[in-house]
């Protein structure tokens, strides 16, 4: 079955079935990436340290919302 056949078949489903199909496809693409997780962890640690050292200004919560 070709990609076009699959798409045609999927589009013929009822909306709820299409939604569930899309959800499952999106979940399959949302896999953790340890390298990216490590990069974000290091960045968050740098930001926390910068705040503690006074090198990074912060905005109070009530000013944001």
Farthest CA pair distance, the chain: 60
Mean pLDDT of 39-59: 95
**Structure confidence at residue 31 (pLDDT):** 85
DSSP state of 15: H
Three-state DSSP state, 18:
helix
Sorted by sequence, the CB contacts under 8 Å of residue 9 that are 6+ apart come out as 1
Mean pLDDT of 9-30: 95
**Structure confidence at residue 36 (pLDDT):** 93
* Inter-helix orientation angle 15-29/3-11, to 10°: 140
Domain ranges of the chain: 1-31, 32-65
| Mean pLDDT (the chain, rounded) | 94
pTM given for the model: 0.50
């Amino acid at each position: 079955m070709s990609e076009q056949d699959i798409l045609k078949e999927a589009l013929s489903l009822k909306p709820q079935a299409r939604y569930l199909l899309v959800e499952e496809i999106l979940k399959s693409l949302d896999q953790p990436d340890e390298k990216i997780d490590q990069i974000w962890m290091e960045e968050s640690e740098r930001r926390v340290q910068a705040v503690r050292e006074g090198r990074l200004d912060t905005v109070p919560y009530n000013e944001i919302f």
